[in-house]
Structures are given as structure tokens and as C-alpha cells.
């Protein structure tokens, strides 16, 4: 990286490193910097040109070191405008020029790298970013073309991941810097070295072998205005893992499609819904689910479009279930798009969707029943199991009904609440046993689910106005 030293022609200069270019005119120095920006400027405070407003303005906001024989009050405006990061007497500089230049070079490089990181991070976000400043900094580093690399973890990077990545970037001639953007890290690189990427993946696995990692590489860029697009490309490349299990992916034009064939997609969705409602066999439904997922694979839809399509289908299926059978216990309203996306790969999404739809199929015998028919079946179940523990939870689990809708429909159909129906039918059964058998009262109470004889007798008398024993003894 070049250093530009601008001083009066009469100065006797010490031996200088080869990367230091000497100018005796600020105009010449600034003209040269438009073609090849330096890492920083070393300016002679005694130059008369530093009193010219447009010259001062040109050096403002640049990395500047000032050399002076002495500092006088008339120099204060220049010092204030330039804000140098170092001021040094000429005699000290002449005695140890290489040492001071090395120190300043290190400071300027760190400052420039910090500015480059900030500009790179801004470039990854939608909207404007300091493109001219970014391009100028890249010129200082001698970068003519570059790539954006996205590193994507399945469960978030740990501090140790980022420490390792920082060490690798610092020691690599191809990797300029790394920044954190959301859950991912991005690298600005001048060259793509697959061996280096594999080294990063190996190091990450040493930190957390349970996680999965993805690296996406953008197309090669020569214009800084395309940085945001390159960041999107790098991220897109990592998402190719949705279709094909690969840790390292390079972005190519047409990697994903953003166009959905709605006719074909809706046809698959109709077939799936019909299979569930019509009671297809499990192998038949599995074949349809495979074809449905294969549509996404062949179309190479953007993963978020594929996830959104599945999410939309499950929501429509939920509405179908509730329309056909208000008592249906299947509730898909809790499913979110984020849950669908978090399956990560089409293979995982396929497996989860198949398991879900097979469960719906197994419940399918209840979809086409009328409400009255279903409640009749539930009443029969209650009558056959009066001695067993009976609750809404038992009915909900056995008959796949929504307990809140069921309670309303049950009372509408029978004229009784669920608990009233159980209580009255147990008491009617008790009357029958009291008249037709010699079973003791406490045994009848136990057989019909009452907690004890006293409670049974109390409920019986409250309902019929007579105790169980009196009922048995009555003619």
C-alpha cells in the first residue's frame, strides 16, 4: 500500500521505504490519489498550499500525519480542519523515519479496515451505502475484483466460531475481512479457495459438531454498486442446501426459480386433499406426497416460496376440515411459516408433511360422518362404559373431536350437557341394577364410577327423591 509524502522542495529527506512516494506539490499529490489512493498522507505543515481552502478541503476526512518544525497559532485552523492522527517534529522523523512510518502504517491500516467493515456491513443491507468511499478503500487495498462469502450456521454461531473465523481471515491473503449480519457471517474475498473454505468448515465442526454449516459464494464482482446483490447471491447459494445436501455452494444465474406454476401446484394440492377425505391407502397418499414435494425439486423454487406454498396449503386444508366437520379436532391454525422454513431441507419437510398427512388420513373415517351420527356413537360409547372414567379428554382423544365445539353440539342433540348425560345414565343404570340384582349398594356405586356409597346415595336421592335402598325395597 502506498504512502504519499508531500513536502517543500528544499527538504532533505531521510532514506524512505519503497512504498513511500514523494511530492513537492499538494496539487500533484491529490491528482495522483484519484488514480491510486494512498493508505495515508504525510504532509509538511510549512507548505503554503495548506493555506488554500480547496486544498485543505481535499485532505479533510483523509488519514493524515503532519510533520512540522514548529507549530504556530496561525497553523491552528489547518490542524483543526485536517484532524491528523499524528503530529511529529521533522527532526524526530528524520532520525527514525522507518520506525514512525511503520507505526503510522499499522494505525492507518487498522482504521481503514474498520471503515471497510462498516461500509461492507452497510452494503449488505437494502438501501444506500457509501459506495464511493467503499470503492476508494478497495483501491487502497489494491482490490480490483472480489467475492462475497456467506457462512450460515443451523443454530447460530458461538463466540468461538467467530474467533476462529477472524484468525483465518487475518492469516489469509485471499480473505480481506469478515462481518456479522444477522445470524450469519459474511466475508469479503479477493479469491475463492475451496481448500480454505473446507478449512473453515472443519474448524467450525471442531467447535460444535452437532451443528450444520453452509458456505455460499457469490459471482465475481468488479463494481461496488453490486455489493448488496452479491450478498443476496451468497445467501441464496447457502439455501441450495434445501434441495441438495452440500456444505459449499457457488451461486449461478438461474440457481432458483421465482415463478410458480399454480395450475400444477393446485392440482397436486387437490389430489392430496381428495386422498385424505376419500380414505386412500397410506401407500397411495405417500406416493402423492412424494410427487407434491418432487414438484418443488424439479421447479427449483426459491426455498421460501416452497415453504410458503406448503404453509398456504396446510391453512387451506384446515379450513376444509372445519367446513366438513365442525367437531374435527384437527387444528392447523397454530402452524407458522417460520416452522415450515425451520425444517431446513426439502427432505425434512417431505418427512414431516408425510407424517402429518398420514395422521389426518388415519382420522379420516370421521370427516364424512354427520354430526348427529357421531354424537350417537359417542353416546353409545358412554353407555357401554359407564363404570369407566369418562371425561371430555377421553372423548376428544378417541373420537378426534374439538371438545369446545362438541359440547355445544352434544347439548343441542341430547338436550343435556356432557356431564349431565353421564350422571343421568349412570343413575338409570343404577336403578336397573337395584331392581334386578342383589348387588350391594356400595358395589353398584363403585361399578358405575361414583367415588363412594355416600356420594352415590346423595346424588340418587337428589335426582329421584328417594334413597337407593328405599328404591330397591319399594314394590
Q: pLDDT tens digit string along 226-251? A: 788 889 999 999 999 899 888 999 99
CA 407 to chain centre: 41
Closest residue by Cα to residue 3 from 48, 24, 33: 33
Q: What is the pLDDT of residues 11-25, one digit of tens each?
A: 899 999 999 999 999
Do 237 and 273 fall within a single domain? no
Do 348 and 382 fall within a single domain? no
Domain end call among 52, 85, 107: 107
Q: What is the CATH number of the domain that holds 454?
A: 1.10.10.60
In a domain, 121, yes or no: no
What is the extent of the structural domain holding 92? 3-107
SS3 21: strand
Number of domains in the chain: 4
Do 377 and 316 fall within a single domain? no
Domain end call among 349, 366, 383: 366
Residue 132 — pLDDT band, cuts 50, 70, 90?
low
Do 179 and 203 fall within a single domain? yes
In a domain, 417, yes or no: yes
Do 381 and 462 fall within a single domain? yes
Do 382 and 340 fall within a single domain? no
Q: What is the DSSP string of 194-210?
A: HHHHHHHHHHHHHH-TT
Grid cell of 382 as nine digits: 358412554
In a domain, 134, yes or no: no
Do 294 and 343 fall within a single domain? yes
Domain end call among 345, 366, 387: 366
In a domain, 25, yes or no: yes
Closest residue by Cα to residue 175 from 203, 197, 201: 197
In a domain, 123, yes or no: no
Do 419 and 450 fall within a single domain? yes
Q: What is the CATH number of the domain that holds 188?
A: 3.30.70.270
Q: What is the CATH number of the domain that holds 21?
A: 3.40.50.2300
In a domain, 344, yes or no: yes
Say which DSSP state 126 is in: S
In a domain, 161, yes or no: yes
In a domain, 391, yes or no: yes
Do 398 and 362 fall within a single domain? no
Q: What is the pLDDT of residues 136-194, one digit of tens each?
A: 667 666 677 889 999 999 888 999 999 999 999 988 888 888 999 989 999 998 888 89
Span 96-109, average pLDDT: 90
Q: What is the pLDDT of residue 400?
A: 72
Residue 135 — pLDDT band, cuts 50, 70, 90?
low
Q: What is the pLDDT of residues 316-326, one digit of tens each?
A: 888 877 766 66
Do 297 and 341 fall within a single domain? yes
Interatomic CA distance for residues 158 and 163, integer angstroms? 9
Do 10 and 102 fall within a single domain? yes
Answer whether residue 366 shows pLDDT above 60.
Answer: no
Amino acid at each position: 500500500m502506498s504512502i504519499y509524502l508531500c513536502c517543500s522542495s528544499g527538504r532533505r529527506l531521510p532514506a524512505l521505504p519503497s512504498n513511500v512516494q514523494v511530492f513537492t506539490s499538494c496539487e500533484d499529490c491529490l491528482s495522483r490519489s484519484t488514480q491510486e489512493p494512498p493508505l495515508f498522507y504525510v504532509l509538511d505543515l510549512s507548505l503554503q498550499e495548506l493555506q488554500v481552502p480547496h486544498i485543505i478541503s481535499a485532505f479533510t476526512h483523509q488519514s493524515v500525519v503532519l510533520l512540522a518544525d514548529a507549530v504556530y497559532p496561525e497553523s491552528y485552523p489547518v490542524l483543526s480542519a485536517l484532524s491528523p492522527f499524528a503530529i511529529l517534529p521533522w527532526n524526530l522523523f528524520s532520525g527514525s523515519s522507518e520506525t514512525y512510518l511503520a507505526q503510522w502504517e499499522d494505525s492507518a491500516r487498522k482504521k481503514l479496515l474498520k471503515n471497510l467493515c462498516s461500509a461492507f456491513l452497510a452494503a449488505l443491507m437494502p438501501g444506500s451505502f457509501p459506495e464511493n468511499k467503499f470503492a476508494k478503500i478497495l483501491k487502497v487495498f489494491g482490490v480490483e475484483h472480489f467475492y462475497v462469502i456467506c457462512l450460515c450456521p443451523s443454530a447460530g454461531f458461538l463466540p468461538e466460531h467467530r474467533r476462529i473465523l477472524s484468525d483465518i481471515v487475518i492469516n489469509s491473503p485471499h480473505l480481506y475481512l469478515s462481518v456479522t449480519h444477522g445470524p450469519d457471517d459474511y466475508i469479503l474475498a479477493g479469491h475463492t479457495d475451496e481448500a480454505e473454505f473446507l478449512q473453515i468448515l472443519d474448524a467450525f465442526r471442531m467447535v460444535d459438531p452437532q451443528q450444520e454449516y453452509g458456505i455460499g459464494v457469490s459471482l465475481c464482482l468488479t463494481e461496488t454498486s453490486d455489493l448488496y446483490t452479491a450478498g443476496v447471491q451468497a445467501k441464496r447459494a447457502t439455501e441450495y442446501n434445501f434441495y441438495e445436501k452440500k456444505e459449499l455452494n457457488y451461486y449461478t444465474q438461474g440457481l432458483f426459480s421465482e415463478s410458480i406454476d399454480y395450475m400444477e401446484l393446485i392440482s397436486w394440492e387437490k389430489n392430496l386433499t381428495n386422498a385424505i377425505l376419500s380414505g386412500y391407502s397410506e401407500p397411495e397418499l405417500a406416493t402423492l406426497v412424494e410427487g407434491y414435494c418432487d414438484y418443488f425439486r424439479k421447479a427449483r423454487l426459491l426455498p421460501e416460496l416452497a415453504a410458503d406454498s406448503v404453509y398456504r396449503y396446510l391453512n387451506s386444508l384446515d379450513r376444509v376440515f372445519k367446513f366438513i366437520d365442525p367437531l374435527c379436532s384437527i387444528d392447523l391454525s397454530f402452524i407458522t411459516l417460520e416452522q415450515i422454513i425451520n425444517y431446513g431441507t426439502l427432505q425434512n419437510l417431505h418427512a414431516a408433511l408425510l407424517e402429518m398427512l398420514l395422521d389426518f388420513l388415519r382420522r379420516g373415517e370421521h370427516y364424512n360422518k354427520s354430526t348427529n351420527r357421531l354424537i350417537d356413537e359417542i353416546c353409545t360409547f358412554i353407555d357401554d362404559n359407564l363404570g369407566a372414567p369418562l371425561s371430555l379428554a377421553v372423548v376428544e382423544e378417541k373420537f378426534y373431536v374439538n371438545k369446545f365445539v362438541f359440547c355445544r353440539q352434544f347439548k343441542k342433540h341430547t338436550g343435556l350437557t356432557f356431564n349431565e348425560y353421564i350422571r343421568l345414565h349412570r343413575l338409570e343404570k343404577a336403578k336397573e341394577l337395584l331392581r334386578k340384582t342383589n348387588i350391594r349398594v356400595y358395589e353398584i356405586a363403585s361399578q358405575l364410577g361414583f367415588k363412594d356409597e355416600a356420594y352415590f346415595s346423595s346424588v340418587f336421592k337428589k335426582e329421584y327423591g328417594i334413597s337407593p335402598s328405599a328404591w330397591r325395597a319399594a314394590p
